[in-house]
Amino acid sequence: MIQLEELKNLLSNCDENSMLTFVGNFKPYDLAICVEKLDRAEQLQLMRLLPPEISAEIMEYLEPILQYQILNHLEEYETSQVLNKMSGDVVADMMLAIHRHQAIKLLNLLPQDYRDKVLTLMTFPEHTAGSLATIDYIAAQSSWTIERTLQHIRKVGHDAEITSYVYVTGIKGELLDVVSLKRIILSEPQTRLEDIVIGEVISVPATMKQEEAAELLSRYDLVALPVVEVQNRLIGVITVDDLIDVIHEEATEDIHKLGGSQPLTDAYFKTSVFHLYRKRIVWLLILFVAEAYTGTVLRHYEETLSEVIALAFFVPLLIGTGGNTGTQTVSTLVRALAVGDVQFRDIFKVMRKEMTTGLLTGASISLIAYLRALFLGVESNVGLVVAITAMCIVIWASFVAAILPLILHKLKADPAVVSGPFITTLVDGTGLIIYFTIAKILLGL
Amino acid sequence: MIQLEELKNLLSNCDENSMLTFVGNFKPYDLAICVEKLDRAEQLQLMRLLPPEISAEIMEYLEPILQYQILNHLEEYETSQVLNKMSGDVVADMMLAIHRHQAIKLLNLLPQDYRDKVLTLMTFPEHTAGSLATIDYIAAQSSWTIERTLQHIRKVGHDAEITSYVYVTGIKGELLDVVSLKRIILSEPQTRLEDIVIGEVISVPATMKQEEAAELLSRYDLVALPVVEVQNRLIGVITVDDLIDVIHEEATEDIHKLGGSQPLTDAYFKTSVFHLYRKRIVWLLILFVAEAYTGTVLRHYEETLSEVIALAFFVPLLIGTGGNTGTQTVSTLVRALAVGDVQFRDIFKVMRKEMTTGLLTGASISLIAYLRALFLGVESNVGLVVAITAMCIVIWASFVAAILPLILHKLKADPAVVSGPFITTLVDGTGLIIYFTIAKILLGL
């Protein structure tokens, strides 16, 4: 980690050389973490001291608002230098995060063609493939020779973020193919690009959801994914690091949802208490109201309960076990759906698998439940009720938890809505009905 | 998707040309999915028909055992051709999955230097950076000129899997630096590598855990990660696609653990019912035994309960809400720990944040709980007990769920052990004690 104090000292001493040596030892990511902790004057001082390409790299790791605040305080020519070195998708994100007037002022500092590309990127809604695309890729025509392509790379390559591939486009800018830099190096100077291209290029439409793009990239082991618009026109390329961020975000979302709260979008400490409250209270209240139903069930069986008070001892145990079984099943299936291992058409296979597993776990739990009842010193009749209920509740929970995520997925709703707390609540009320029905029958109440 | 029937037809007609045209339309990943569904004779026929480099690419997506079964049924020279085109880390994984005698037979089909590298890779334990490294990278000496480096790339580049970077090594094979292919193309022929290298290269030791390597890669936006041994000797490079698989696996593991079961290692349908049973029953039984404690608590308060049977109505509601709150908090914090947003030293900040949030949610829930009690028609005294208990249980659950994952993390245990079901069970028993204590005091029992 960077010594924040040392950096602050060097900045206050205005010792440019030791400063640059010091900074040279660290990666832009580490410097960005540090920049967040400096005060505004120090941030500006550091940005002015560093070459614009390094400043731009650091900027890319900062939040859009902070990017703007720094750029806004720099001199106009400094701002334009840094802005020009930042990648198009990051600039577009920042523009969308700030006020329209501020954005226009900044856009005017960009050269015409770069500005147009940023404006295009700004039209794609958040969380789509288009919004992630960078415009700093290298394109070439299929009729070009290797020699001409290499000349082109030498001319435009300095600013390109996509460095391993050259995208082959047609006259109207339509994506035809892709060729790796390695392949170019290995080929003879007079070979034409059309003779060495990979064949079938994998691309995604700009409107595709970002998580689908991420899935495609990881399925086919790609390191960059070209993004196309109508008529297959190439508008940008998504780099693997942006899609790794998407994969992380999606997993975080699913984990939060499975935990029964709305997903947080920011890092933990950047989320305020009130925001945390709002994300949690919604589901907590919905579940509370649903769970309140257990009170109605219990009041309905008040008579049975007062006759055999021992039945009450096992209420938390039985519904708790049902909830646990349901949570296990739901988390397995929601994840299997997310990574594409399971689809709706598998519903009967899933049901069979989960209910057979439920039968096995139910039988094991049932046995232990009977022993526990005897150990608590209740009548053996009550013990039997508890054992049979345990079995039934486990199978019931497995069934519900197996089909609900699949049905939601089919309905194009997010299967992760069926969270652990959701399934627990559902099984609590219905589990009690199972319990008291079995009790009434077996105990003859 | 590939038409499996069409492929089977083409295979049975032995129509080589239409076969090759057909196959040419698909990616190795899609073909691999298909190969899994063919019978052995068809698999062999297909592999023989395809050029060895395509066969090898398909093989890389298959399970190690299936890889071996196919290779074992091919003629020796066919096997050696395909094996030679497969990447070192995949071959090493397969060797580790099969019997030692079988492995030796296959290893003997490899050229000496390739065999040695595979043997080195086989020495790294599963789930370490070393076990993921491919040996098919391009290395160069720092004193080489661009011209000489390009000659070298043209000589060895055809077999290299790592295609965007050249790794600069010293005399003893120690990793000195890295330079991108783009940078090489952009430089003058007489420039020496030492003059254009990136500087500070990020590498990982072979023994590093794979998830740590994945974190490093995603933090610094890299597309390949060199792996070194003692004395900084370069032994291989991890490609981004392997680390994306690791990121997926880690998220799956955490989701399964948070759902209260041991993580599955295979895809859903590849996991047998009995395996599923074994992964789930362990925690289910542990939690069942822990939850059985609620019976003891309830029996202890049997007298209170028979005096005011209405108290029983709210048992599932109160402990359920506590469990839900705990599950929300735990899932947020386990994920925050996994992505590095939170550390043990933040424990007091986390506690303050979670308990303030708990105070807010608790107050909201408390109000609704009071209304619910009145609506159920119980005495207003009981309503008060329920409302106060709701508040206390929510705060208690927030507290426990906030600190346990952090403490486990500190103890180098996996914080995801504190699953939703775990925290629910913990809060159930302790929540009941809170409930009846408040009841006894307020109702004067």
Q: Contact A258/B255, CB-based, under 8 Å?
A: yes
Tell me the pLDDT band of A2, cut-offs 50, 70 and 90. Answer: low
Q: Determine contact, residues B199/B120, Cβ cutoff 8 Å.
A: no
> ipTM greater than 0.90, yes or no?
no
Q: Choose from B33, B238, B256, B268 for mutation: most chain A CBs within 10 A.
A: B268
Task: Give pLDDT, residue B291.
Answer: 86
Judge whether residue A401 has pLDDT over 80. Answer: yes
Q: Which residue has the higher pLDDT, B113 or B364?
A: B364
The answer for residues whose C-beta is within 8 angstroms of residue B41's C-beta and 6 or more apart is none
Return the pLDDT at A397. 95
Give mean pLDDT, residues B399-410. Answer: 92
Cβ contact B157–A182 (<8 Å):
yes
Determine contact, residues A436/A307, Cβ cutoff 8 Å: no
Q: Do B332 and A256 touch (CB under 8 A)?
A: yes
Task: Give the DSSP per-residue string, B120-157.
Answer: HHHTSPTTBHHHH-BS--EEEETT-BHHHHHHHHHHHG
Query: What tens digit of pLDDT does each residue of B42-69 get?
Result: 899 888 888 888 899 899 999 899 999 9
Which phi and psi angles does A260 have, rounded to 5°? Answer: 85, 25
To test the contact with chain A by mutation, choose from B31, B57, B166, B182 the residue with the greatest count of A C-beta atoms within 10 A, namely B182
**Interface contact B305-A309, CB threshold 8 A:** yes
Structural contact between residues B136 and B161, judged by C-beta atoms closer than 8 angstroms: yes
Could you report the per-residue pLDDT of A150-159, keeping only the tens digit for each?
999 888 887 7
CA-nearest residue to A319 within chain B is B316
For the cut 90, the answer to whether the pLDDT of residue A403 exceeds it is yes
Whose structure tokens read 């020796």?
A: B76
Question: CA–CA separation, A312 vs B294, rounded Å?
Answer: 10
pLDDT of B2 over the 70 cut: no
Residue B387's Cβ-side half-sphere holds a number of Cα atoms within 13 Å equal to: 18
**Does residue B149 contact residue B196 with C-beta atoms inside 8 Å?**
no
Q: Nearest CA of chain B to the CA of A130: how many Å?
A: 20
What's the CA angle centered on B296, arms B295 and B302, to 5 degrees? 85
Average pLDDT, stretch A187-197? Answer: 86
Q: Is residue A14 over pLDDT 80? A: no
For A254-288, letters b (16+ CB in 10 Å) and e give bbbbbbbbebbeeebeebebeebbebbbebbeebb
Question: B83: closest CA among B61, B104, B109?
Answer: B109
Tell me whether residues B182 and A181 touch, CB distance under 8 A.
yes
Confidence bin at B1 (pLDDT 50/70/90): low
Instruction: Decide: helix, strand or coil at residue B376.
Output: coil
Q: Which band of pLDDT confidence, cut at 50, 70 and 90, is reported for residue B203?
A: very high
- Across residues A233-240, what is the average pLDDT? 90
Instruction: Say how many C-beta atoms besides its own lie within 10 A of residue A132's C-beta.
Output: 28
- Binned at pLDDT 50, 70 and 90, residue A394 comes out as very high
Q: What is the pLDDT of residues B237-280, one digit of tens each?
A: 999 988 999 999 889 988 989 888 888 888 888 889 989 899 89
Interchain contact, B309 vs A305, CB within 8 Å: yes
How far apart (Å, rounded) are the C-alpha atoms in residues B241 and B106?
26
- From chain A, the residues in CB contact with B202 under 8 A are 27
pLDDT band per the 50, 70, 90 thresholds, residue B198: low
| Contact assignment for A258 to B258 by CB distance below 8 Å | yes
Overall average pLDDT of the A137-143 stretch: 89
Which of B277, B323, B328 faces A361 most closely, judged by CB atoms? B277
Nearest neighbour of B332 by CB, restricted to A264, A333, A360: A264
Residue B356 has pLDDT above 90, yes or no: yes
Q: Number of A to B CB contacts under 8 A, please give it.
A: 362
Task: Give the separation between CA A157 and CA A166, rounded to whole angstroms.
Answer: 10
Please indicate whether, in this complex, the C-beta atoms of B273 and A357 are within 8 angstroms of each other: yes
- Closest by CA to A258, choosing from B355, B328, B221, is B328
Residues contacting B242, CB < 8 A, separation 6+: B89, B132, B134
Helix (H) or strand (E) holding A140: strand A138-141
pLDDT digits (tens, 9 = 90+) for B147-157: 999 999 888 88
Q: For B343-355, what is the mean pLDDT?
A: 93
C-alpha separations of A239 from A61, A160, B427 in Å: 15, 12, 45
**Cβ(B382)–Cβ(B373) under 8 Å?**
yes
Helix (H, G, I), strand (E, B) or coil at A155: helix
Banded model confidence at residue B120, pLDDT cuts 50, 70, 90: confident
CA distances from B258 to A256, A318, B179 (A): 11, 21, 42
Across all residues in chain A, what is the average pLDDT? 88
Whether pLDDT at A124 is above 70: yes
Interval A342-350 mean pLDDT? 92
Q: Closest approach of chain B CAs to the CA of A158, in angstroms?
A: 8
A113: which 2 tokens?
């063609």
Per CB-CB distance under 8 Å, the chain B contacts of A299 are 313, 376
* CB atoms B164 and A160 under 8 Å: no
Residues A334 and A297: their CA atoms lie apart, in Å, by 30
For chain B, the first-to-last Cα distance in angstroms comes to 70
Q: Name the residue type at position A181.
A: L
**Cβ-count burial of B412 within 10 angstroms (0-12 exposed, 13-18 middle, 19+ buried)?**
exposed
Phi, then psi, of A108 in degrees rounded to 5: -65, -15
Note the pLDDT tens digit of each residue in A30-80.
888 888 888 898 899 888 888 888 899 899 899 899 999 999 999 988 999
Contacts of A419 in chain B (CB under 8 A): 327
Alpha-carbon distance of B345 to A269, in angstroms, equals 13
Confidence of residue A23 (pLDDT cuts 50, 70, 90): confident
User: Which pLDDT value is given to residue B364?
Assistant: 94
Give the pLDDT confidence score for residue B401 in this predicted structure: 94
**Model pLDDT for residues B302-325, shown as the tens digit of each residue:** 888 888 888 888 999 999 999 999
Burial of A21 (0-12, 13-18, 19+ CB in 10 A): exposed
Backbone angles phi, psi at A138, to 5 degrees: -105, 125
Report the half-sphere exposure of A125 (CA within 13 A, side-chain side).
7
What are the φ/ψ torsions at residue A134 (nearest 5 degrees)? -100, 150
Alpha-carbon distance B118 to nearest alpha carbon in chain A (angstroms): 22
Whether A421 sits inside 8 A of B295 (CB atoms) is: no
Any bridge partners for residue A102, and if so which? none
Mean pLDDT of B5-23: 81
| Chain B closest-CA separation from residue A117 CA (Å) | 23
Greatest distance between any 2 Cα atoms in chain A: 95
pLDDT greater than 80 at residue B408? yes
Residue of B nearest to A293 (CA): B317
Is B396 within 8 Å of B314 (Cβ atoms)? no
Q: Is the distance from CB of A102 to CB of A72 less than 8 angstroms?
A: yes
**Which whole-number Å values give the CA distances from B336 to A268, B25, B90, B331, B339, in the listed order?**
6, 43, 32, 8, 5
The whole-number average pLDDT for the span A80-101 is 89
Q: Average pLDDT over chain B, rounded to whole?
A: 88
Per-residue burial over A206-227, b = 16 or more CB atoms within 10 Å of its CB, e = otherwise: bebebbebbbbbbbebbbbbbb
Mind giving me the DSSP string for A423-441?
A: HHHHHHHHHHHHHHHHHHH
Q: Domains in chain A, please, with CATH?
A: 4-123 (1.25.60.10), 138-240 (3.10.580.10), 292-443 (1.10.357.20)
Contact A253, A263 (CB under 8 A): yes
Query: What was the pLDDT predicted at B333?
Result: 92
Report the run of H or E that residue A291 belongs to, with start and end.
Answer: helix A273-291
CA distances from B92 to B35, B95, B97, B161, B318 (A): 21, 5, 9, 15, 54
- Torsion angle of the four alpha carbons A185, A189, A195, A201, in this order, in degrees rounded to the nearest 10: 40
Beta strands in B273-404 (DSSP E): none
Considering only the beta carbons, identify the residue of B25, B281, B323 that sits closest to A361. Answer: B281
Does A219 contact B334 at a Cβ distance shorter than 8 Å? no
Cβ contacts of A337 on chain B, cutoff 8 Å: none
Axis crossing angle, helix A420-443 with helix A380-410, rounded to the nearest 10 = 140
Q: Which of B153, B313, B425 sits opposite A295 (nearest CB)?
A: B313
C-beta atoms of A218 and B248 within 8 A: yes
pLDDT digits (tens, 9 = 90+) for A244-255: 999 998 899 889
Pairing relationship of beta strands A234-239 and A224-228 according to DSSP bridges: antiparallel
At A51 the pLDDT is: 87
Residues of A in Cβ contact (< 8 Å) with B427: none
- The answer to whether residues A370 and A386 touch, using CB atoms and an 8 Å cutoff, is yes
Packing angle of the helix pair B273-291, A315-338 (nearest 10 deg): 140
Going by the DSSP 8-state scheme, the letter that residue A136 receives in this structure is -
Answer yes or no: is pLDDT of B415 > 90.
Answer: no
Name the residue with higher pLDDT: B4 or B79: B79
Question: Which pairing describes strands A175-180 and B234-239: parallel, antiparallel, or unpaired?
Answer: unpaired
Q: What is the pLDDT of residue A378?
A: 82
3-state secondary structure of A231: helix
Q: Evaluate whether B266 touches A267 at the Cβ level (below 8 Å).
A: no
* The predicted structure's pLDDT at residue B221: 84
pLDDT tens per residue, range B130-145: 989 988 889 999 889 9
Percentage above 70 pLDDT, chain B: 99
Nearest chain A Cα distance for residue B76, angstroms: 30
Contact criterion met (CB < 8 Å) for B185 and A150? yes
Does pLDDT of B212 surpass 80? yes
